[in-house]
Amino acid sequence: NCNFDNGDTCSYQNGAGQFNWAVNRGPTTSSGTGPSSDVSGRGFYLYIETSSPRQFGDKATILTPYLNGPQCMKFYYHMYGGDIEVLNIYANNQTIFSRAGNQGNRWVGVETPILQFGRYMVKFEGVRGRSFQGDIAIDAISFTPGNCSFQTPTPSTSRPTNPPTASTNPPTQAGRCNFDQGDLCSFTNGANDDFDWTVHSGSTSSLNTGPSRDVSGNGNLPIVSYYLNY
């Protein structure tokens, strides 16, 4: 477990890649990207700095110490900037979390199970986008043996028990989503297709097709939509 508030990476080790994750306090060095503080508002966080000489597609990886058996992983991420690429998390080379694109200037809490057995390390991979406005940050990482209870992750006891409400979201439950936040949760549209799934509330724009509401009657529903563009 690590909140980085000692100003180091705890026992995490940078892995293979074109650059490294770094510990920071306060804003990053680039405007229009990255957090202004850690999730508590007064400590340190881990992030990738995507300014020059970094190039599109460069990767930074960092690995946890060895874990044993199923774990519940909790952490916060911050992905704000015009050219955010992707944050991937792996266990035994299997993807357990992935989020791409600008997620707004906020810390988002995630709680997800790791259903692995034996010894393994968890790898956090940040990928650089097309410009310096692609800083990705993570904070307050914890692992608890067993499955998840799907409660909002909280920072360690050295931090306020309630992070600033203006900058946090409810946890993302891997593979579960009712789309009522108006986004795709942790789902991502694929690249090798012709158009995308989108989130919608109420009737679709076409007559005699599609639902008039989501299953609850008052939320959002993912639909397929497309339009002609030039």
Instruction: Please write the tens of the pLDDT for every residue from 56-70.
Output: 999 999 999 999 999
Q: How far apart, in Å, are the Cα atoms of 130 and each of 19, 56, 78, 118? A: 16, 5, 18, 38
pLDDT in tens, 183-222: 778 787 876 676 878 887 766 766 668 787 676 655 554 5
Predicted local distance difference test score (pLDDT) of residue 165: 39
Query: Does the pLDDT at position 147 exceed 80?
Result: yes
Please tell me the distance from the alpha carbon of residue 162 to that of residue 96, in angstroms, as a whole number: 26
Compute the Cα dihedral for 98, 34, 171, 197 and give only its sign: negative
Cβ neighbours of residue 179 under 8 Å, at least 6 residues apart?
A: 185, 199, 214, 219, 220, 221, 222
* Burial annotation 140-167 (CB, 10 A radius, 16+ → b, else e): bbbbeeeebeeeebbbeeebeeebeeeb
CATH of 13-145, one of 3.30.70.1140, 2.60.40.730, 3.30.70.270, 2.60.120.200: 2.60.120.200
pTM: 0.66
Residue ranges covered by each domain of the chain = 13-145, 176-229
What lies within 8 Å, CB to CB, of 46 at 6+ separation is 4, 9, 12, 21, 22, 23, 24, 62, 124, 137, 138, 139
